[in-house]
Amino acid sequence: MADWGEESENPELTEKQKKEIAKWFLTNAPAGEIQYVAKDVRALIADDRLYNLAAAEAFPLFNKAHLVVLEMPDRSGDVIISSFGEIDKDNFFDPRTAQIVTVDHMKQVCTKVRPANDEELPSAYVEEFRFALDAELCKYVVDTYPKGTCAVYCTRGKDVDGPGVNFDFAVVISASRTSPQNFCNGSWRSIWTLEFKDDLQVVEVKGKMQVVAHYFEEGNVQLDAKNECRDSTLLQSPEDCAVSISNTIRHHEAEYMASLEESYLHLPDSTFKDLRRKLPVTRTLFPWQNTLQFSLTRDISRELGIGK
């Protein structure tokens, strides 16, 4: 049996281990908070070279995972940093403006844009479907998500030039709300894969939705909720398809939001009780009968309009 001195020895971490730990903290930063985490990680690691190595790997992963939205330098629009539009590590395609955007991942800014060439664009036939769907989704996102952005990418069959061949789209919706001065940040992210099956005259719809939130006033409360669904609609004209697919997405996202709101109604009676022991270390009973006195419950209730 090893003596106490041997057990208490803490060997120095290797540079690779330090880099991987720094990378983990950066990639797991809450929505909208990676720059704050980066500042602390940089101070803790106390090695700019090592920090830059970790950040160079972590920031692109974070930006794509969180579907970060950046304004283009010419102010022609916003681009979503998504794997669906990734040309290479630093360049991303924006289908709405048909431009390739160069991104500085660590600063989270766009540095330049260029027009996409013909090889990077879908055919006129596919673009007709993509353009119609994008227009319908823009109306939905503006109505539903403050500061929301959407994009429609052709992920397969972009060279299809007429009926008779299948092709696929990916719809990405990203919305965030950051309020660090109020100790609260959060985001909504949804990805919808659409398979246009000409032989069956149907569009298969698969959706993945995610809500994340971080509340950190006098504590650290995080929400990470995910949901998946499937549906289908008829393959029709581009305009009719766009309306039908948009309505399908609207229905499923509204249904999921309603289920979240329903769970929040029972937050004081169920979830809060699971967060702490019934009798904390202060030996004072927690006032379950009046949790509205705590700011987190008040804020959530106010945002959802509960109790009005």
Whether residue 300 has pLDDT greater than 60: no
CATH 3.90.1150.210 domain locations along the chain:
122-259
Average pLDDT of the residues of the chain: 88
Q: Which two tokens stand for residue 231?
A: 């549906």
Q: What is the mean pLDDT of residues 27-39?
A: 94
Q: What is the mean pLDDT of residues 36-60?
A: 95
Whether residue 293 has pLDDT greater than 70: no
Q: What is the mean pLDDT of residues 7-26?
A: 84
Quick check: 205 and 245 in contact, CB under 8 A?
Answer: yes
Domain 11-65, architecture per CATH: 2-Layer Sandwich (3.30)
* pLDDT score recorded for residue 303: 55
Whether residue 108 has pLDDT greater than 90: yes
Quick check: 248 and 216 in contact, CB under 8 A?
Answer: no
* pLDDT score recorded for residue 162: 93
Instruction: Write down the residue that tokens 């690691």 correspond to.
Output: 45
CA-CA distance, 26 to 219, in Å (whole number)? 20
Whether residue 298 has pLDDT greater than 80: no
Q: What is the mean pLDDT of residues 170-185?
A: 92
Higher pLDDT, 175 or 218: 175
Expressed in percent and rounded to 5, the helix, strand and coil fractions of the chain are: 40, 30, 30
Q: What is the mean pLDDT of residues 26-50?
A: 94
Whether residue 94 has pLDDT greater than 90: yes
Residue 296: which pLDDT band, with cuts at 50, 70 and 90?
low
Q: What is the mean pLDDT of residues 112-133?
A: 96
CATH 3.30.1140.60 domain locations along the chain:
11-65, 69-115
Whether residue 235 has pLDDT greater than 60: yes
CA-CA distance, 263 to 149, in Å (whole number)? 26
Quick check: 233 and 244 in contact, CB under 8 A?
Answer: yes
* pLDDT score recorded for residue 1: 44
* CATH number at 122-259: 3.90.1150.210
* pLDDT score recorded for residue 146: 85
Q: Are strands 78-80 and 86-88 parallel, antiparallel or unpaired?
A: unpaired
- The letter for the amino acid at 240 is D
Q: Are strands 202-215 and 184-197 parallel, antiparallel or unpaired?
A: antiparallel
In order of 41, 76, 86, 89, the CA distances from 92 in angstroms are 28, 15, 5, 8
Q: Where are the alpha helices (DSSP H) in 176-283?
A: 238-265, 272-275
Quick check: 58 and 51 in contact, CB under 8 A?
Answer: no
pTM, 2 dp: 0.83
* pLDDT score recorded for residue 12: 83
Q: What is the mean pLDDT of residues 140-168?
A: 95
What is the distance between the terminal CA atoms of the chain, rounded to a whole angstrom? 64
Whether residue 2 has pLDDT greater than 50: no
Q: List the single range of 171-180, 182-191, 217-226 with lowest mean pLDDT.
A: 217-226
CA-CA distance, 224 to 230, in Å (whole number)? 21
- Assigned CATH topology for domain 69-115: Ribosomal protein S3 C-terminal domain (3.30.1140)
